Amino acid sequence: MIARDAIRAAYDRIRPHIRRTPVLELEPGALGNEHPVTLKLEHTQITGSFKVRGAFNNLLDAALPKAGAVAISGGNHGAAVAYAAAKLGVKSTVFVPGMIANEVKMARMRGFGAEVIVAPGSVDQAFWAYDDFTMKTGALPVHPYATPETLSGQGTVALELEEQAADLDTLLVSVGGGGLIGGIAAWYGGRVKVVAVETEGTATLDKTLKGALPEDFAVSGISASGLGASSIGALPLLIIREHVAQNLVVSDDDVIEAQRRLWSAARIVCEPGGVTALAALTSGAYVPQDGERVAVLLCGGNADPGWFGG
C-alpha cells in the first residue's frame, strides 16, 4: 500500500518542478445535466498531463545513470519522463507500442528530447523491448503505473485537490494501468468516493475485477493511446480493491459527446483519455444524488484540438 506520508514526501520533492493546476466550478446545467461539477484541470499540467508528477518523483528519488531514463508509453508518460530527464540533465528513451502509436503524441515526446522507438505489436511486446533495453543499458526504468514511486507521485494530484476542494463527496477518474487512480485512492483512503471510468476498448480494470481479462487483451478505441494498458499493476489493484467504490465503462461515442459538452460549457479541449471520466457523468453512467458534490479529473490534453469535431 501507499501511505499518505509517502505522497506528502513526493509532493515536497516534486513541487518545484510542476504546476499546481487549477480547479473550475461549473454551474448546474453547464454540461447538460442538473448538477454542478468541480473540474480539476490537470490537462494544464506541464507536458499536458498528470504523468509529470510520477516522472519527477521517480527521477528525483534515484541515482541517475549515464544511460538516462527509459519509459514505455503511448504518449503522456513518455512526454513526462522526457521532460523530467531533460530538466535533470540526462537523456531519455521511450518505447511506444506500435498498435497504439499516435503521431501527435510521439512528436510531443520528441519535442521534449526523447529518443522514441516504436516497438511493433502489442503493449506487452513493447514492455519486453523496454525490459530488454533496461537490462542491456542500465538505464533507469520509469514504470508508467506499477511502482510505489509512480503511485506516490500521481497521488499528489489528490493532495492538491483536497486543499482546493475540501468538501467533495465523489471524484471520477479515468483509468489506464491504475497508477493515477491508485495514487488518488491511497491519498483519500475512503474519505471521498472514488469512481473509476474506462472506455469499452480500454476496460482493463473492469475485466480484471470480473476475472475476465484475456492474456492477450488488445486495447482499442479513441482512448487507447492514453488509457491503453494491457493489465492493471499489482500495487494499484490492491489499492483499488480496498478504496475505489465503483468502476464504470463508457463508449467512444460517450467520450466524444463529453468533449463536445466540455467545449460548449468551458471552451476546454482534452484528449479522449483525459475526458473519459467526464463521459460517465454526461452519458448518465454516473448519476449524482441530490446534493452530492462531484468532481472530475481532466487528466490529459495531448491531442489534436479538432479530434471531436468541434
Mean pLDDT of 32-51: 95
Whole-angstrom Cα distance, residue 107 to residue 95?
Answer: 13
Tens digit of pLDDT for each residue in 85-114? 999 999 999 999 888 888 888 998 999 999
**Cell digits for 167?**
468538501
135 Cβ neighbours under 8 A, 6+ residues apart: none
Closest CA to 134 of 89, 93, 84, 177: 93
Mean pLDDT of 269-283: 97
Q: Which CATH class for the 4-50+148-298 domain?
A: alpha beta
Whole-angstrom Cα distance, residue 51 to residue 45?
Answer: 9
Whole-angstrom Cα distance, residue 157 to residue 299?
Answer: 10
Q: Report the pLDDT value the prediction gives residue 289, as an integer from 0 to 100.
A: 95
Q: Report the pLDDT value the prediction gives residue 252, as an integer from 0 to 100.
A: 97
Whole-angstrom Cα distance, residue 206 to residue 198?
Answer: 8
Say if residue 2's pLDDT is above 90: yes
167 Cβ neighbours under 8 A, 6+ residues apart: 293
Mean pLDDT of 216-225: 89
Say if residue 295's pLDDT is above 70: yes
Confidence of residue 122 (pLDDT cuts 50, 70, 90): confident
**Cell digits for 192?**
471521498
Whole-angstrom Cα distance, residue 7 to residue 299?
Answer: 18
Which residue has cell 480539476? 40
Domains of the chain: which residue ranges?
Answer: 4-50+148-298, 52-141
Specify the CATH number for 52-141; select among 3.30.565.10, 3.40.50.1100, 1.10.3470.10, 3.30.1160.10.
3.40.50.1100
Mean pLDDT of 70-74: 90
Average pLDDT, the chain: 94
**SS3 assignment for the chain:** CCCHHHHHHHHHHHHHHCCCCCEEEECCCCCCCCCCEEEEEHHHCHHHECHHHHHHHHHHCCCCCCCCEEEECCCHHHHHHHHHHHHCCCCEEEEEEHHHCCHHHHHHHHHCCCEEEEECCCHHHHHHHHHHHHHHHCCEECCCCCCHHHHHHHHHHHHHHHHHCCCCCEEEEECCCCHHHHHHHHHHCCCCEEEEEEEHHHCHHHHHHCCCCCCCCCCCCCCHHHHCCCCCCHHHHHHHHHHEEEEEEECHHHHHHHHHHHHHHHCCCCCHHHHHHHHHHHCCCCCCCCCCCEEEEECECCCCCCCCCC
Q: Strands across the sheet with 92-97, in order?
A: 115-119, 92-97, 69-72, 140-141
Mean pLDDT of 26-39: 94
pTM (predicted TM-score) = 0.95
Query: What percentage of the chain reaches a pLDDT higher than 70?
Result: 100
| 182 and 200 Cβ atoms separated by less than 8 Å | no
Closest CA to 244 of 200, 298, 184, 284: 184
Confidence of residue 309 (pLDDT cuts 50, 70, 90): confident
Confidence of residue 310 (pLDDT cuts 50, 70, 90): low
Q: Report the pLDDT value the prediction gives residue 95, as an integer from 0 to 100.
A: 94
| 192 and 168 Cβ atoms separated by less than 8 Å | yes
| 152 and 163 Cβ atoms separated by less than 8 Å | no
Whole-angstrom Cα distance, residue 288 to residue 228?
Answer: 28
**Identical topology for domains 4-50+148-298 and 52-141:** yes
